[in-house]
Amino acid sequence: MTADKRGMHGIWSSRWTFILAATGSAVGLGNIWKFPYIAGENGGGAFVLVYLLCILTAGIPIMMAEVLLGRKARMSPIHTMERLTATAKAPRMFAGIGWMGAVAGFCILSFYSVIAGWTVYYTVKMATGTFTGISGENAGAVFSDLLADPQSLMLYHTIFMVLVGVVIARGVHRGLENAVRIMMPLLFIMLILLLGYSLTTPGFSQGFNFLFSFDFSKLSQESVVVALGHAFFTLSLGMGAIMAYGAYMPADASLGKTVLAVGILDTIVALAAGLVIFPIVFTNGLEPGAGPGLMFQTLPIAFGGLPGGVLIGTTFFVLVVIAAWSSAISIAEPAVAWCVEKGVGRGRSTFIVCALAWFLGIGTVFSFNDWSNNQFFVHVTPTVAEQADATSVQLPEAEWFAYADVSELERLYPPTESVNFQITGKTFFDVLDFLTANILLPLGGVLISLFGGWFLSRRSVADEARVNNTAIFEIWRFMIRFVSPAAVLFVFIHGIL
């Protein structure tokens, strides 16, 4: 393994390219698909505020730490953490960050590719005019028909994974730089155009208020965990993706401004997506808590009603596909880079990683149809039926099952005159999503901040960061040592208990 100053995988051509690539990694389905739907499920306003706080107190400082660690060792996250842990004489557990990240990466890539497949499908539907003049109801039907059809889901999942593999096999900087350079500005233009449309809809102020009026009574403990987890997911943190990209960052580029730019861009795109989607939701009487289908049920209505909607809509979905593509590449890169360092060729490494993630993705494909009743962590919660008198009803005990067939449970717990049974669980997809975003990424993030804050000397960190402004450096170091780990651990421990 030869890791000279340039590393064995190459170097971005400039600081600007690193910004593009890191933005390409950060901006993706997390912003356009996931952020609006989880904001909708968690009641909007207060959730958005907590999410923004998490970005500021944990996301940005930890992102700086990840880039810094990557650039220090210039290797894949697994080898970077093994090497830095050894030289810093830190506990062995920190070497596990890279491994945990690789596991998280496989899980994320597996479902990310399935969802990205939906956007490929929607590109085709857009281009062929399916949505012209469509009603909210029919747009919903197009989406549920897709979910009900595992064969289509498999096809588009496969297409997307092949797209990802092709770019990775060519090497990240050659494959990625050009795609991102054209795509990012275009995506911004499209979002501004869509914002213009949503401003003209009667539901705009309601959508705006949903996102930005902070009603803390709607905020549950789980919502806070989800907000924190999403801060990591959306910035690609906690699993080594940004660390891997940091390893290709030019040695003389200053870290603070660069990372800040990426964080701000990512946040703007998420908020813009929310501001586009929620006005459409309220204008058309749709459900903000509709779940993973939210963007797929709303945006086609907007495009269907716009003059030139076929062209605009097709362009938009192409851009979402490219945004998802550039993110997916970064999810796979840590594992591929590790295989390459182990002496496996880049093409073969790519094939192994993508094939494994593709296989795991089958579980997500079936989560939306054949296996939708096969759920984990199923809770049966008895509630007093609406027509019953709450004071006279004796509720049975709540129960939970590690695994259950939900349709079976519904038969076993029919509603009675006085009691309803609320049955909630997680599908295979839900489990992967929860495990990665809400557990593995924050855990990885906390370990990274502890390592960067407590096991690397101030000298070595300051040298690597190449900060010109000592005040900013001091603030960052304080954040990474105290604030970020405290914030993550606080949310984490509360959420688990």
For 6, phi then psi, to 5°, come to -95, -5
Secondary structure letter of residue 201 according to DSSP: S
Of 57, 123, 258, 327, which lies in the binding site for ligand PFF, with binding defined by CB under 6 A? 327
Q: Which stretch binds ligand PFF (CB under 6 A): 22-30, 71-79, 304-312, 417-425?
A: 22-30
Mask 270-309, x = binds ligand PFF (CB under 6 A)?
----------------------------------------
3-state secondary structure of 292: coil
Instruction: Give the distance from CA 104 to its chain's centroid.
Output: 12
Comparing CB distances to Na ion, the nearer of 59 and 453 is: 59
Comparing CB distances to Na ion, the nearer of 262 and 336 is: 262
What residues from 222 to 281 belong to the interface with Na ion (CB under 5 A)? Answer: 234, 266
Find which of Na ion, ligand PFF, none residue 331 binds, CB within 5 to 8 Å per kind: ligand PFF
Contact in structure between 298 and 286 (CB atoms under 8 Å): yes
Residue found by looking up tokens 């990474």 in the block: 480
Q: Which helix (H) or strand (E) holds 394?
A: none
Tell whether residue 245 is a contact of ligand PFF (CB under 6 A). Answer: no
For 247, phi then psi, to 5°, come to -65, -20
Tell whether residue 118 is a contact of ligand PFF (CB under 6 A). Answer: no
Q: Which stretch binds ligand PFF (CB under 6 A): 48-56, 298-306, 323-331, 369-377?
A: 323-331
- Would the CA dihedral through 243, 247, 249, 254 be positive or negative? positive
Q: Which stretch binds ligand PFF (CB under 6 A): 26-34, 44-52, 81-89, 164-172?
A: 26-34
Tell whether residue 25 is a contact of ligand PFF (CB under 6 A). Answer: yes
Query: Minimum CB separation from ligand PFF for residue 81, in Å?
Result: 15
Tell whether residue 55 is a contact of ligand PFF (CB under 6 A). Answer: no
**Cβ within 8 Å of residue 59, ≥6 positions away:** 231, 232, 234, 235, 237, 263
Secondary structure letter of residue 399 according to DSSP: E
Find which of Na ion, ligand PFF, none residue 29 binds, CB within 5 to 8 Å per kind: ligand PFF
Strands 374-384 and 419-426: antiparallel
What residues from 217 to 236 belong to the interface with ligand PFF (CB under 6 A)? Answer: 233-234, 236
Q: Which stretch binds ligand PFF (CB under 6 A): 324-332, 340-348, 404-412, 480-488?
A: 324-332
Find which of Na ion, ligand PFF, none residue 432 binds, CB within 5 to 8 Å per kind: none
Tell whether residue 304 is a contact of Na ion (CB under 5 A). Answer: no
How far apart are alpha carbons 75 and 1 in whole angstroms? 10
Find which of Na ion, ligand PFF, none residue 239 binds, CB within 5 to 8 Å per kind: ligand PFF
How far apart are alpha carbons 379 and 402 in whole angstroms? 9
Secondary structure letter of residue 396 according to DSSP: P
Contact in structure between 45 and 65 (CB atoms under 8 Å): no
Of 73, 153, 231, 331, which lies in the binding site for ligand PFF, with binding defined by CB under 6 A? 331
3-state secondary structure of 42: coil
Comparing CB distances to Na ion, the nearer of 30 and 229 is: 30
Tell whether residue 330 is a contact of ligand PFF (CB under 6 A). Answer: yes
For 336, phi then psi, to 5°, come to -65, -45
Query: Minimum CB separation from ligand PFF for residue 306, in Å?
Result: 25
3-state secondary structure of 90: coil
Query: Minimum CB separation from Na ion for residue 51, in Å?
Result: 11
Number of chain residues interacting with ligand PFF (CB under 6 A) = 15
Of 116, 161, 239, 321, which lies in the binding site for ligand PFF, with binding defined by CB under 6 A? 239
Number of chain residues interacting with Na ion (CB under 5 A) = 5
Closest CA to 364 of 302, 431, 445: 431
Contact in structure between 425 and 409 (CB atoms under 8 Å): no
Query: Minimum CB separation from Na ion for residue 40, in Å?
Result: 17
Tell whether residue 31 is a contact of ligand PFF (CB under 6 A). Answer: yes
Comparing CB distances to ligand PFF, the nearer of 320 and 378 is: 320
How far apart are alpha carbons 170 and 481 in whole angstroms? 38
DSSP string, 221-269: HHHHHHHHHHHHHHTT-SSSHHHHHHTTS-TTS-HHHHHHHHHHHHHHH
How far apart are alpha carbons 178 and 483 in whole angstroms? 37
What residues from 26 to 45 belong to the interface with Na ion (CB under 5 A)? Answer: 26, 30-31
Q: Which residues share a beta bridge with 423?
A: 380
Tell whether residue 26 is a contact of ligand PFF (CB under 6 A). Answer: yes
Query: Minimum CB separation from ligand PFF for residue 269, in Å?
Result: 9
Mark residue 343 as left, alpha or beta (left: phi above 0; alpha: psi -120 to 50; beta: remaining): left
Q: Which residues bind Na ion (CB under 5 A)?
A: 26, 30-31, 234, 266
Q: Which residues bind ligand PFF (CB under 6 A)?
A: 25-26, 28-31, 108, 233-234, 236, 239, 241, 327, 330-331
